[in-house]
């Protein structure tokens, strides 16, 4: 099968938002209190070993999984299948970093997809945090629906919350690995997780994965069209991306991404330096040959 390369991350862009986690006002230290973490190699922290996305194409979603929608109405996942394909996103609504980036990227891509939620497909977001409420889900829906700019499509956007058994049933089917981690207060209130969205067929089977936080409208349109005919796509390639994580025990940010940027900068500088050296050497040689020619002719 042909592989399609999608902008993404370490098995779905592991931006460790959970380690940054929670509301920003509760997590951001003052400028003088922040310290850059030490470079201890490029190995992922132990907590992230179980974080990622395993692409399970053609896997049937648990259509009997019970949730509550943003209005407080009890629903099952199967309520959204049978007529249209869907875009599925596993997030948690109180995450101000990676999940926000994912929802921003999804909304931006859909603005350029000439299909209508509620008519041609559905958008289903499921919180992985069982403590989150329909009220919070409703606020997130209102925010992104306003940003999307097409209020008439509201019936096609579904922001769900639920309890652990239903959440686990969906994440296990999708291959979405995540772990609960402590915040700065030591409470297990945050999540380390990956970022991806999935296209699901009309009968509830996983048809395509898109990794990362930016999505191609063209690929998304093609995925929805194929999923509407219950066609299963092909695995996508993973592109290695690192970001930084927050260690609440040491109040340090380990800037892993800086090492990647620094390495890229070093390669760029070395390349430019080498190019300039060769050009100067060529110009010097040409000038020297020109002087020698003048002397011989004189």
pLDDT in tens, 60-119: 999 999 999 999 999 999 999 999 999 999 999 988 677 888 899 999 999 999 999 999
- State pLDDT tens for residues 180-214: 876 666 666 678 888 899 999 999 999 999 988 88
Mean pLDDT value across residues 220-241: 84
Q: How confident is the model at residue 36 (pLDDT cuts 50, 70, 90)?
A: very low
Confidence band for 20, pLDDT divided at 50, 70 and 90: very low
Torsion 246-252-253-256 (CA) sign: negative
> Residue 145 is encoded by which pair of tokens?
């629906």
Q: Name the nearest CA neighbour of 64 among 82, 80, 85, 78.
A: 78
Please list the alpha-helical segments (H only) found in the chain. Answer: 17-20, 98-111, 134-148, 164-174, 217-228, 256-297
The model's pTM:
0.70
């Amino acid at each position: 099968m042909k592989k399609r390369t999608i902008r993404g991350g370490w098995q779905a862009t592991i931006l460790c938002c959970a380690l940054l986690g929670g509301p920003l006002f509760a997590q951001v230290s003052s400028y003088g209190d922040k310290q850059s973490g030490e470079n201890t190699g490029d190995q992922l922290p132990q907590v992230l070993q179980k974080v990622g996305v395993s692409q399970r194409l053609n896997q049937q979603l648990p259509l009997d999984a019970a949730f509550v929608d943003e209005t407080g109405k009890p629903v099952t996942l199967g309520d959204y299948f049978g007529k249209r394909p869907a875009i599925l996103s596993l997030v948690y609504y109180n995450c101000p970093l990676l999940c926000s980036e994912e929802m921003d990227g999804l909304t931006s891509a859909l603005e350029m997809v000439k299909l209508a939620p509620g008519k041609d497909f559905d958008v289903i977001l499921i919180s992985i945090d069982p403590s989150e409420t329909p009220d919070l889900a409703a606020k997130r829906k209102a925010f992104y629906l306003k940003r999307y700019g097409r209020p008439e499509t509201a019936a096609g956007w579904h922001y769900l919350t639920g309890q652990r058994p239903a959440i686990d049933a969906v994440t296990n089917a999708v291959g979405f690995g995540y772990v609960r981690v402590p915040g700065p207060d030591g409470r297990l209130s945050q999540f380390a997780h990956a970022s991806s969205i999935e296209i699901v067929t009309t009968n509830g089977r996983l048809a395509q994965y898109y990794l990362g936080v930016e999505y191609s409208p063209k690929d998304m349109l093609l995925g929805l069209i194929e999923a509407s005919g219950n066609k299963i796509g092909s695995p996508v390639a993973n592109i290695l991306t690192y970001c930084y994580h927050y260690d609440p025990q040491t109040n340090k940010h380990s800037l892993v991404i800086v090492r990647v940027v620094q390495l890229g900068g070093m390669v760029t500088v070395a390349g430019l330096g080498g190019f300039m050296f060769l050009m100067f050497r060529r110009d010097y040689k040409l000038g020297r040959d020109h002087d020698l020619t003048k002397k011989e002719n004189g």
